[in-house]
Amino acid sequence: MFLQPLLKEKKRSRRSSTRHEKPENVIEKIVEGKMDKYYGDICLLEQGFVKDPDMKIQSLLTEKIAKLGENITVKRFVRFELGQELVNGRMRTNGTP
C-alpha cells in the first residue's frame, strides 16, 4: 500500500525520461533526481522548514535534540492543502458541505 504511490511515480518518471531517447545511465540519474524531489515533497522529514527552506525538518529536529538534550519524535501530523479545512474532525474542501 505504502510503496504503490512511490512505484507509480518512479514508473512515470522513467516513462517521461525514455521519451527523449537518452542513454540508460542518464535516465537512471534523471529518475533518481525526480524521486529525490518527490520524496522532498511528500515526506515530512525531507521537507524544508517554513522559516528556513534550506534546512530540512530532520536537520531541525537533530539540532533541537542536541540543544535541549532530549529526544524529540514526531508522533503524528496533519497536512492541509490550500482550500481545505477541518470541520468536526473531517476534511472539507471549500464548496462541499
CA 51 to CA 86: how far, in whole Å? 24
pLDDT at residue number 79: 72
Q: How many CB atoms lie within 10 A of CB 87?
A: 10
Measured distance CA(10)–CA(84) in Å, rounded: 28
% of the chain at pLDDT higher than 90: 23
pTM: 0.57
Q: What is the mean pLDDT of residues 10-36?
A: 82
More confident: 69 or 41: 69
pLDDT above 70 coverage of the chain, percent: 85
Reported confidence tier of residue 66, pLDDT bands at 50, 70, 90 = very high
pLDDT of residue 95: 56
